[in-house]
Amino acid sequence: MTIEIRSCSDTDDLRASMASIWHYFGLPPTDEAVGNFAALVSPERALLACEDGVLAGGCCAFPMELTTPGGRVKAAGVTMVGVQPTHRRRGVLTAMMRRQLDDCRERGEPVAYLWASEERIYGRFGYGLTGLSADVEISRERAEFFTNAPTVGRVRLVALAEALDPVRAIFAQVAATRPGMFARSDDWLKRRNLVDLAWMRAGGGELVCALLEIDDKPAAYALYRFDAKWERGGIPGGIVRVTEAMATTPVAMRAIWRYLLDLDWCATIKAGFLPVDHPLFLLSAEPRRMRTQLRDGCFARLVDVEAALRARKYGPGEIVIEIADVFCPWNTARWLVREDGATRTDRAADVSCDVSALASAYLGGFSWAQIVASCRANAASEEAVARADRVFERGGAPWVPEIF
């Protein structure tokens, strides 16, 4: 079997590339979906796998700018990866990953980033888990904060067509300092976040934008849906599904969440893709009642280790990390990491690991102590582990608030 991997040349090719993953959604790609992707992903960023002219698979990659601890890095947001059921276990995915990562390197994108539909798949291509993601389900009757201090500001409902400017500004301010977030273009916001397509409702209510203003300036927003429901006897049993809530200050964050948790005619407030250090967990008077469930978050692949390491900041000291990378052998080396970046070195290694383990430390989602304890890395000594964690300073937990 000879598999041909090529870039898409037009929207017809893009539709074919998307068809492999859409097969598992139970329908072909819609015109609307193809149009949205074409606006955000130029066809040449999508790949098509064929065998003798027969579709075998496809994948795409959004151009992204990813926030790192103390910096930014260009990244490929990998998406729409699928293999036709007729071509499973024939090396199609491996061939597409090979081509895609080579393309990322040529484009100067040191990092590839993705949500994994099946988490076991991508480790063999060098992807590592960057952090955990939290889903919460809060009963409105048990949604009190530890403090009853009054909130500040004024909340008003804003039409989605009028929400672009404040949402853009607030999100950009949050994303600039939170590892794992990526910059959103206006097209991205209008086509993915501030849009209310029928399929997005999943039988529920319309998308609502609530804007919090403090001193007449936008300080926070929440995007949510109200799914109305009534229990026996006319008891409200509705669900507020929080798509996203962002705030520029702790005070604004408390105010916008107090608004969400106080909505009438609902019994439950659900929110997903929260970082594990979200303030809600300490704000809550009864954190156990939030019914938190953890899941794997995004996975990252350091395509160019040197460039990726140079795109973040470090604490005092230095550490030598020996990286093994079978799939992208140009990364295999010992790397001296210190405050001024990373360089190849012949010095003895303090820590040795696969490139996927380095990805887990890269955004600060996991400490080197955790990685070593999980048998994903070996360390020369306990002191080396402690030194690695001082160098790889960690800020907030990685946060990716949406599936892409």
Q: Give the CATH number, domain containing residue 325.
A: 3.30.1050.10
Total tally of structural domains belonging to the chain: 3
Residue 91 lies in a domain: yes
Same domain for 152 and 65? no
What pLDDT does residue 234 have? 78
Consecutive H or E run containing 342 = strand 341-344
Catalytic residue among 37, 62, 113, 122: 122
Which of 77, 109, 141 is a domain's end point?
A: 109
Same domain for 291 and 152? yes
Q: Which of 270, 268, 255 is nearest to 147 (CA)?
A: 255
Query: Which residues are CB-neighbours of 81 under 8 A, at least 6 positions away?
Result: 21, 57, 58, 59, 60, 93, 96, 114
What pLDDT does residue 1 have? 65
Q: How many CB atoms lie within 10 A of CB 41?
A: 21
pLDDT under 50 in the chain at which residues? none
Q: DSSP assignment, residue 42?
A: -
Residue 327 lies in a domain: yes
Same domain for 138 and 283? yes
The residue range of the domain holding 52 is 4-109
Residue 398 lies in a domain: no
Q: Measured between alpha carbons, how far is residue 252 from residues 170, 345, 364, 390 in Å?
A: 11, 47, 25, 32
Cβ(17)–Cβ(81) under 8 Å?
A: no
How buried is 293 (Cβ within 10 angstroms: 0-12 exposed, 13-18 middle, 19+ buried)?
exposed
What pLDDT does residue 21 have? 94
Judge whether 122 counts as a catalytic residue: yes
Q: How many CB atoms lie within 10 A of CB 159?
A: 9
What pLDDT does residue 395 have? 87
What pLDDT does residue 249 have? 98
Residue 402 lies in a domain: no
* Ramachandran region, residue 258 (left: φ > 0; alpha: ψ -120 to 50; beta: rest): alpha
Cβ(219)–Cβ(249) under 8 Å?
A: yes
Same domain for 242 and 359? no
What pLDDT does residue 109 have? 98
Residue 120 lies in a domain: no
Cβ(206)–Cβ(236) under 8 Å?
A: no
Judge whether 24 counts as a catalytic residue: no
Same domain for 345 and 276? no
Same domain for 292 and 308? no
